[in-house]
A = this chain, B = another copy of it.
């Protein structure tokens, strides 16, 4: 990521320090091992996807205007929106060039499609947040696009980089997509769980009018007048901490949490079922453990 711009180098060094879980590269490497082993192209796929993921996190800092991300200050708060947009664009182009200069065209096709799906998914979420849409099928469409499509690409790129054929690459895509939906369901559950630092749930999704499954389930099972009251809070009083806390309490009492957990476990099971049709080796075991981690993780 070294560039000829000193300011950019300061920022990329800073980004490298914000270590994430690196779940996406793990999907890439295990998927390659599953079908023939890691190649140089696998490393480039993992690099491309992690750079792209980082670019979207940097752009998200603009998007959500959040002041913190994983306890470090966000790029946005420190260097303002304008720089965050440009750094995101730079990271994305660096990722593309790594693959482009090595003729990894299959990887590029898979990943470019995810870039499109991710931006569509985020925009669909914003649109639905405005109408406070509570259709479960649309919720699943949003998380499939905004989150699952990139994890799907990890698995497809990993297999493709190891030389797997088109049918297998497509199966791996489907497997990653299913695991990615479980991943996002877990993320959406976090918003209703007690925070380790404050002892209170975040409620960030509600504050941003994001209709996630626990809330959608509750609203769908409520009687009309109660539903109107909750929707009114989300729509007009989402900056009121007490009212948001009330909604969180209601969701916890509604059965929305166990319902979402149940769905998450179904997707986990479905992903593991697909996995068992793949060749049996240590990489398959690793992928199974990774999926287990996804639904059990504490952050």
Which residues of chain B come closer than 8 Å to A143, judged between CB atoms? none
Knowing A7-B123, A109-B101, say if A81 contacts B82 (CB, 8 Å): no
Cα A119 to Cα B45 in complex, Å, equals 22
Nearest CB in chain B to that of A103: its residue? B105
Contact with B along A61-105 (1 / 0, CB 8 A): 011110000000000000001110111111011101100110101
CB of B119 within 8 A of CB of A83, answer no
CB of B7 within 8 A of CB of A86, answer no
Most chain B beta carbons < 10 A, residue from A85, A105, A108, A122: A85
CB of A120 within 8 A of CB of B3, answer yes
CB of B90 within 8 A of CB of A120, answer yes
Interface residues on A, range: 35 or more
Using a CB-CB cutoff of 8 Å, which residues 100-117 of chain A contact chain B? 100-101, 103, 105, 108-109, 112-113, 115-116
Using a CB-CB cutoff of 8 Å, which residues 43-68 of chain A contact chain B? 56, 59, 62-65
Which residues of chain B come closer than 8 Å to A86, judged between CB atoms? 59, 63, 119, 122-123, 126
CB of A123 within 8 A of CB of B85, answer no
CB of A127 within 8 A of CB of B5, answer yes
Interface of A is mostly: helix
Which residues of chain B come closer than 8 Å to A90, judged between CB atoms? 116, 119-120, 123
Knowing A81-B65, A109-B101, A115-B92, say if A6 contacts B122 (CB, 8 Å): no
Cα A100 to Cα B105 in complex, Å, equals 8
Taking a contact as CB atoms closer than 8 A, the residue among B82, B96, B105, B120 that contacts A5 in the complex is B120
Which residues of chain B come closer than 8 Å to A122, judged between CB atoms? 86
Closest 4 CB pairs of A and B: A93-B115, A7-B127, A90-B119, A63-B82
A-to-B contact residues, CB < 8 Å: 3-8, 56, 59, 62-65, 81-83, 85-90, 92-94, 96-97, 100-101, 103, 105, 108-109, 112-113, 115-116, 118-120, 122-124, 126-127
Query: What are 30 A-B contacts defined by CB distance under 8 Å?
Result: A3-B120, A5-B120, A5-B127, A6-B127, A7-B123, A7-B127, A8-B120, A8-B123, A56-B89, A59-B89, A63-B82, A63-B85, A63-B86, A82-B126, A83-B126, A86-B122, A87-B123, A89-B92, A90-B119, A93-B112, A93-B113, A93-B119, A94-B116, A96-B108, A96-B115, A97-B109, A97-B112, A100-B109, A100-B112, A101-B109
